[in-house]
Structure 1
Amino acid sequence: MIESRPFLTRIPDPSIIVKDKIPTSVAGEGRYRFVATCDTDGTYAMIYCPVGHAFTVDMKVIKGTKVKAWWYNPRNGETTLFDTFDNVQDERTFISPDKGELTDWILVLDNAALNYPVPGKK
């Protein structure tokens, strides 16, 4: 999955995950740490979600006017395109397909104009 997007320009970027007023109530802090990466050109972002929990993403990281949103299941390698939307909001809230603990997922957000392959496919 990680090789399905440009990797020479990939950087870790925890600022993609929007912080909450209560640090331990937001994904990215506390016991279940979410992590994020993107490329320096703003063509995609990936957010690892170790637990089913609502979290908010800073959408300014994606430079395109339309975004494709995918859920990648690292437990079985399956990918689902779940939305294509106009990139007009500064922030957008997501929740992984499975709620609860031990249900990790990876959210992949792509600039739709670039027609990247399905995450996990080369």
Structure 2
Amino acid sequence: YAYWSVFAGSFGHTYGNNSIMQFIKPGVGGAYGAKEPWYDALNNPGFNQMKYLKNLMLTFPFFERIPDQSIIAGTNGERYDRAIATRGKDYLMVYNYTGRPMKVDFSKISGAKKNAWWYTTKDGKLEYIGEFENGIHNFQHDSGYSSGNDHILIVVDSSKDYVNKEWDELPDAQQRWEKK
């Protein structure tokens, strides 16, 4: 739920791991299925994937970003098939949990031409898709439709340099902002 929450306008997200929240340790039973010691749960994939969300959010001008579902053109899905969008003046992002096909309106941000990337939430990998004209475009990640096959479509005004076409992952954005 992290990307849905942050794209909808929340300021952050706390990773909810029952073993960590309950400080489960050997010999002490846990609730809600928690069995793993809390210190082992620190190595779970979800815990370590939160850095990708943080880095993505800090890559773009943070305080101008707003939720904007008008970016999704046509019919949006329901529940887990629902895509959620956020944007600034010259960039937009769409989170898609299932990899379902979606229509995205590029005219919601500045620029006649836009560059687009897929961002993988599980490992922070970045894949340049290409340059596009303004308008409504259809997208579906090559990995297809399935629960938990989540990716983020990133679209940026081609005159901006938030993301480089050659990158296969985003650099540490926090260091960039700390230098300013």
TM-score, normalised to structure 1, is 0.83
Determine whether 1:12 maps to 2:12.
no
Q: State the partner residue of 1:23.
A: none
1:114 is paired with a residue of what secondary structure? Answer: coil
Letter in 1 for 2:69: P
Q: CA deviation at 1:82?
A: 1.1
Q: State the partner residue of 1:34.
A: 83
Q: State the partner residue of 1:111.
A: 157
Give, in whole Å, the separation in 2 of the partners of 1:112 and 1:74. Answer: 23
1:113 is paired with a residue of what secondary structure? Answer: coil
Unaligned segments of structure 1, at least 5 residues: 21-25
Determine whether 1:120 maps to 2:175.
no
User: For residues 32 and 50 of structure 1, do their structure 2 counterparts lie closer, same or farther at Cα, with a shift above 3 Å needed?
Assistant: same
Size of the alignment, in residue pairs? 112
1:60 to 96, 107, 110: 107
Answer 1 or 2: which has greater helix percent. Answer: 2
Q: CA deviation at 1:120?
A: 2.8
Unaligned segments of structure 2, at least 5 residues: 1-55, 174-180
Letter in 1 for 2:158: A
2:121 is paired with a residue of what secondary structure? Answer: coil
Determine whether 1:95 maps to 2:140.
yes
Q: CA deviation at 1:84?
A: 1.0
Q: CA deviation at 1:51?
A: 0.8
User: For residues 103 and 112 of structure 1, do their structure 2 counterparts lie closer, same or farther at Cα, with a shift above 3 Å needed?
Assistant: same
Identity of aligned residues (%): 30
Give, in whole Å, the separation in 2 of the partners of 1:80 and 1:18. Answer: 23
1:25-77 deviations in whole A, cap 9, x for unaligned? x44x34422110001x2x00000010121100112112101100000001111
Q: 1:2 touches 1:120 (CA, 8 Å); kept in 2? A: no
Give, in whole Å, the separation in 1 of the partners of 2:114 and 2:68. Answer: 18
Give, in whole Å, the separation in 2 of the partners of 1:34 and 1:86. Answer: 22
Letter in 2 for 1:114: K
Higher relative contact order (CA 8 A, sep 6+): 1
CA RMSD in angstroms comes to 1.6
